[in-house]
A and B are shown apart, each in its own frame.
Chain A
């Protein structure tokens, strides 16, 4: 470099990790945002993503602290490292946001998603669906003579795999909650 002895884009740690070596590869990040549960706060978060052209792969939100009126929003998003950095700092700018955590960076973390899956069929296919559901530890929560509704919890990958297997066996509808996630340990 120059006489300045500073490597361009060096990744030395500072209060904010502001010196990333930006690459063009798109990464999937799970970000949790602790927000004041006031009217319109979800609209602010979604509006930020829409207005600045960021992706939302999945989003979940619910109040987690009734006395403190705090909600946790879990967002799964995809983007280049520069975009991911922007998403985090832009989220941090929203006034009712208390805390932004990038679980993918801060990890390891646990993530779970719940899905309910309706499979319609009779005969062998119905038996096979039941057998596979057992392997995936999916519970039957409703049944008729020619349909099941399974409830399955797991990582998004596991749910994808289950849905793929159910498709030829008569998968008719699926509802997914999106990811909820927390850091491991203390």
Chain B
């Protein structure tokens, strides 16, 4: 796991240095808030490579803290997007009745987030999280999905269409394989190779 973190640190450093060089006035920067769980680190790399390759938009990764902190970062406009999970989202909404059917819960949560926070839930990625450091789902694991502000989708009109192509394509086994790949070649290259293999870039 240490290798993943090191690899990601180097990737973030690279993006951080390059971002001001290429953003310009015509280019734009999209800020993605991620927490420290292994799945968020890997998804941060995948999303940043994918969005940059297919839109030319530079993605800046930020680490405000846990999921709640990422949620607040997007609400306050400090970030454009983060990755949330259905169960923590259910708690954020304070739903009175617990819903155990993932599909129904997704509908409830996405509608609640849109109404209350003006945040849009994109398609679930496929895996359940957040993952622990041993890459196993925590006891309260549920489907993960990118969450984007309505304002961001207005500025980046193809973003939802693009990211939804990742929907359902990253399950727990895939994440485990990616974690293994990062040990050999670094996170950014692993993310790029993964997206190339899926013919997404």
Same complex for A and B? Answer no
**A binding-site residues for B, Cβ under 8 Å:** none
